[in-house]
Amino acid sequence: MNDNNVCVNKGKGKVWLVGAGPGEVSLITLKGREVLADADVVVYDALVRGGMMSLMPEGAELIYVGKRAGNHTMKQEEINALLLEKALEGKKVVRLKGGDPFLFGRGGEELELLVQNGIDFEIVPGVTSAFAAPAYAGIPVTHRDFCRGVSVITGHRRSNGALDINFKALAETGNTLVFLMGMSTIDIIMNGLLSGGMDGDTPAAIVEKGTTSSQRVLITDLAHLEETAKTGHAEAPAVIVIGNTAGLAERLKWRDSLPLNGVRAVVTRPKELSSGLASMLRKKGAEVIEVPVIGIEPIYDSDRLKDAIRILAEGRYNWIVFTSPSGVRVFFDELMKTADVRALAGCRIAVIGKGTEAELAKRGLHSDMIPSKYDGRTLGAELSRLLRTGDRVLIPRASIGNKALNEELSKSGDVIIDDIATYDTVYHAAEWFDASKELADPKTFALFTSASGVRGFVSAYPDMDHSAVKAVCIGAMTAAEAEKYGMRVWISEEATLTSLADRLMQASKG
């Protein structure tokens, strides 16, 4: 192995051992995200949560090998063999493990068989829950006023049922003690430390599902650790912190001040459009799960669009109307194949809303008209007042575009409307997302930015009880579509992502 933790060979596939982090998707490292995006095969475990699934590359083979106490989808030896098998097929294989793969993650075991068979591998460390979960609970694992160091210990039993831990030595270190996988042995941990001489008044905390929207922090002391876990119905995965720094949790807790703390947001926008909304919600404290139930498929080599671009270049269009960011993106991709932005020189531009206007601005252009209310009917009604007899209007948009726009434009009299389909909206389900289970959670909301998004969701998950969905919607048309299926609906005041996030905050407060 060289200094970059890479074992080199030629002619075979390669395995990357990647730490996914503690649960919050944005805590995966930049290197981890980069490697994951290029994978042919992803082998992932039970601690890789739903939000992380949005990072899985399209077309990759996803293999779940999750292990919980007493419930192993695949034995460790089988996982090792699987990694070798896929690498020998010449694949780029990512073994994605919760936390850091070398901290009680059996990462070393999974590499040994690869070494024996001369397979390339690379190690991408991850943020461990041993430090991240306490940090999200306001507990520093070291503090010069309270401790000299930190010890990370596994609470997992050996095959003979024993915990091979020198509790007396641990108690004498004066360190903050962080136990992983210790919920099933919490009584042994507590009694062992007390017997080893640790004071029963020593502060302690249980951080359950750390860094996620389901995070709970139970504050106690060592003598009452087991009782607190039982009365609080604490569950794995959880991190147990014992030491004086645990007493700082109440003073240093910071997540409670975030407006969407404890909220899960299911973002249903197309994958290429979801990042801005997801980032905004995460900054406000929400756990975001990106489930793109609709996708965009450009209609290539359209004779109608080619003719329209020729007419546009000849200066014979008076207006071009964009009804979505996707419409802008697909149109300009086609425009640049046969012409350039100078074709727009004699044409005015209308957009349906700020998101579409922002996409247009990426091309160095500003709109001449944006409606007072961001929907097709208002756009058509207000644009029609600006049209003159004989004007020609180009509308490059989805093949299932809203008819209200054309109905309103037609009221302006003798105008020519070229409504050209430039892309299809397709519906698809994320097989890893259990919609019925996830959306039954009272703190989980689905966000919809279009009526087609609602239809896509219903098409993707037809068997669930859609009345259980708490839907936060942009615009009346989106809300009306959600109400057709009995969803409980909240409507943003404006058709903007900022307003949508604000409405989610209000909805989450009850």
Please tell me the CATH superfamily of domain 6-127, with its number.
Answer: Tetrapyrrole methylase, N-terminal domain (3.40.1010.10)
**CA-derived radius of gyration, the chain:** 28
pLDDT grade for 403, boundaries at 50, 70 and 90: confident
Which of 136, 165, 168, 138 has the alpha carbon at shortest distance from 152?
Answer: 165
User: Which one-letter DSSP state was computed for residue 319?
Assistant: E
Q: Is the pLDDT of residue 495 over 70?
A: yes
For 353-374, the pLDDT digits (tens) are 888 999 999 999 999 999 998 8
Residue that has been written with the tokens 């058709």 in this structure:
495
pLDDT grade for 74, boundaries at 50, 70 and 90: confident
Strands (E), 58-159: 61-64, 67-68, 71-72, 92-97, 120-124, 150-154
Q: What is the pLDDT of residue 160?
A: 64
Task: Parse the chain into domains and list their residue ranges.
Answer: 6-127, 131-253, 264-293+428-508, 297-427
The CATH architecture of the domain made up of 264-293+428-508 is: 3-Layer(aba) Sandwich (3.40)
Q: What is the pLDDT of residue 7?
A: 46
Order of strands across the sheet with 287-290? 287-290, 264-267, 444-448, 470-473, 488-491
Q: What is the pLDDT of residue 5?
A: 46
Q: Which residues are catalytic?
A: 45, 67
Q: Is the pLDDT of residue 491 over 70?
A: yes
Give the whole-angstrom CA distance, residue 165 versus residue 142.
Answer: 22
Fold of 297-427: Rossmann fold (3.40.50)
Tell me the C-alpha to C-alpha distance, in Å, between residue 443 and each of 216, 273, 275, 294, 507.
14, 24, 21, 24, 10
Which of 383, 488, 393, 392 has the alpha carbon at shortest distance from 446?
Answer: 488
Q: Give the mean model confidence (pLDDT) for residues 58-79.
A: 80
Would the CATH topology of 6-127 be identical to that of 131-253?
no
CA dihedral 185, 188, 191, 192 (to 10 degrees): -120
Q: Is the pLDDT of residue 183 over 70?
A: yes
Q: What is the pLDDT of residue 261?
A: 95
Is 131-253 a CATH 3.40.50.1820 domain?
A: no
For 123-156, the pLDDT digits (tens) are 999 999 999 999 999 999 999 999 989 999 999 8
For 202-261, the pLDDT digits (tens) are 999 999 999 999 999 999 999 999 999 999 999 999 999 999 999 999 999 999 999 999
Order of strands across the sheet with 150-154? 150-154, 176-180, 238-242, 203-208, 216-221
Q: What is the mean pLDDT of the chain?
A: 91
Q: Is the pLDDT of residue 263 over 50?
A: yes
Tell me the C-alpha to C-alpha distance, in Å, between residue 87 and each of 10, 13, 138.
12, 4, 42
**What percentage of residues in the chain have a pLDDT greater than 70?**
96
Q: What is the pLDDT of residue 67?
A: 65
Q: What is the pLDDT of residue 54?
A: 83
Q: What is the pLDDT of residue 374?
A: 86
Q: Give the mean model confidence (pLDDT) for residues 272-295.
A: 88
Size (the chain), residues: 510
DSSP class per residue in 260-289? TTT-EEEE-S-GGGHHHHHHHHHHTT-EEE
Q: Is the pLDDT of residue 41 over 50?
A: yes
